[in-house]
Structure 1
Amino acid sequence: MRHLNYNHLLYFWTVANEGSVARAAEALSLTPQTISGQLKTLEQSAGGALFERAGRGLTLTATGQFVYQYADEIFRLGGELALRLRDPGLMIPNRLKVGMVSSIPKLIAYRTLAPALTGPDAPQMTCREADLNSLLADLALHRLDLVLSDQSIPTGLNVKAYSHLLGYSDISWVGSPVIARRYSQNFPRSLDGAPCLLPTSSSVVRRHLDDWFERQGIQPRIVAEFDDSALMKAVGEAGHALYPVPSAILTEVWDTYGAESVGRIREIRETYFAITPERKLKHPKVIEITETARDRLFNNRNRT
């Protein structure tokens, strides 16, 4: 694809947004045959199919998803350019694109990002949740400005990015008031046989918890496992099991889920990082996020 045909790209982008060639043709005031023909030309240039059938509609292939990410950014910027040309004094909102690993507790993520959400210069924020490798790939392609992670960049990964330590938090076990009072006596031995909700084995904290259980000779009764920490807390709110949370957000867990502390495990620490494309932070909101997290959320100021 030596020269990109933006008309072809526009037809593709519209079909992807509308879900079918017919609806795209109506939106663009063109015939379906015209759009279908131009899509085939674009697919030949791209070297593969961009759509596949899904019932009566169309869904993007892997190649189509890749092309769509660029097309969406191109036409978003084009829309901004048109607005600025019509009204040179128009203020276009600045943007902050954030990726979060799925295992990051949502309350930790919110507390970390909160400083960027308020004030006259607050950016329009886009948040995406995925596994760390996918987010780092998007960071390398400048689709993200920042990645929040509970682990640093894996050793040996060939990506130009840098981990900035935000801080750490040990673990507290919590539960509804009734169940918390039942298991708070003789903690942590009270966890042996206790009904518990846990992160899945793919998370860093779960591996630390499993090691800790083994060292302590404790075998909890695992009621359920979760990739999503917010769902785990919501299930825990029903009051049938204990679950672990970062001690840094105990107040928020009480306010949001009505959970009380059963006990604290200081031997296990969750560590949190801001991962960016540059070694020295430049984006003013990323600087504000990292400084506030270090000073107020984790209260254990550390530098890379």
Structure 2
Amino acid sequence: EAGRIALDHAEAIFRTAEDLVATLRERGGARQVLRVGALSTLSRNFQIGFIAPFLAREDVEVVLRSGPQAQLLAGLEALALDVVLTNHPPARDAASRHLVHRIAEQPVSLIGPPALAGRPLAELLAREPLILPTAEGVLRAGLDALFETLSIVPRIAAEADDMAMLRLLARSGAGLAAIPPIVVRDELATGQLAELARFEGLTESFHAVTLRRRFPNPLVREALDAARAAARTMAQGAD
């Protein structure tokens, strides 16, 4: 037992030393570095929004890496990343060093050509081809429950687990897409696409995962605060 306690203390000291070295490396140059990992299927607009406050700063360099969640979390554990952006928060237990910050919650809407605006949601779902997230996603479970409630057998034109691909499919006119409006923010602004209806009670949450560190990168706190402020502003605008 004494040996186990000594080993635990040694590991804690080693992690603290690694943490300090990583933080000093980030602050050692003339420019600070923020290393961000993003789930490869995550909305590009959300990713850009998260790093936007730093893009015009000459004293900050942003390194953005995308990949599968397991790989990104491993990079976080190895202190190669400061924060991981995801819409699938990792499971936590008492031994976990992960801190999961929910920084935004977006409504999910039916997106399509402006010419279809004004038609009832149930009619659109029953008659028009649909572009949906794949069955493994959280959003799809809510959509399938709605189809069951409305006794609708959807005409599925395409499925994708990548928000960028869902955006491209919506732009191509392949069908009506069930996605958060932020994914097609630019197309909505130009009038190329329209928000035809909103799915009440169905939302997608965006999370930032950090590591419990004794010497955290101060840019992470700035990024989290800015992201939450932007989310509040967007929510107030929607109201």
TM-score norm. by structure 2 comes to 0.75
1:188 counterpart SS class? helix
Equivalent position to 1:145, from 66, 82, 99: 82
Equivalent position to 2:222, from 264, 276, 288: 288
2:51 counterpart SS class? helix
Distance in 1, Cα, partners of 2:66 & 2:132: 20
Q: Is the 8 A contact 2:163 2:183 kept in 1?
A: no
Distance in 2, Cα, partners of 1:280 & 1:216: 51
Matching residue of 2:17: none
Matching residue of 1:170: 107
- Structure 1 residue 148, shift from structure 2 partner: 0.6
Matching residue of 1:243: 177
Equivalent position to 2:153, from 219, 226, 234: 219
Q: Which digits, 9 at most, give the CA deviation of each residue in 1:226-279, with x for residues without a partner? A: 122112211211223111222456643413782111101121011111100127
Q: Is 1:115 aligned to 2:53, yes or no?
A: yes
Distance in 1, Cα, partners of 2:53 & 2:122: 36
Say how many residue pairs are matched.
209
Seq. identity, %: 26
Q: How does 1:44-193 map to 2 (within 5 A)?
A: 92-123=30-61, 125-156=62-93, 159-178=96-115, 180-181=116-117, 184-193=118-127
Matching residue of 1:210: 144
Distance in 1, Cα, partners of 2:215 & 2:121: 42
Q: What's the Cα RMSD here?
A: 2.8
Q: Is 1:264 aligned to 2:202, yes or no?
A: no
Higher Rg: 1
Q: Which runs of 5+ in 1 are unaligned?
A: 1-76, 78-83, 85-90
Quick one: structure 1 residues 241 and 259, their matched pair in 2 at CA, closer, same or farther if it must change by over 3 Å?
same
Distance in 2, Cα, partners of 1:257 & 1:97: 35
1:166 counterpart SS class? strand
Matching residue of 1:54: none
Q: Which digits, 9 at most, give the CA deviation of each residue in 1:100-148, with x for residues without a partner? A: 123321112211221122223232x222222222211111111111101
Q: 1:171 is matched by which residue type in structure 2?
A: V
- Structure 1 residue 194, shift from structure 2 partner: 1.7
Q: Is the 8 A contact 1:198 1:244 kept in 2?
A: yes
Q: Which digits, 9 at most, give the CA deviation of each residue in 1:157-188, with x for residues without a partner? A: 9642110110211111111323x33xx41213
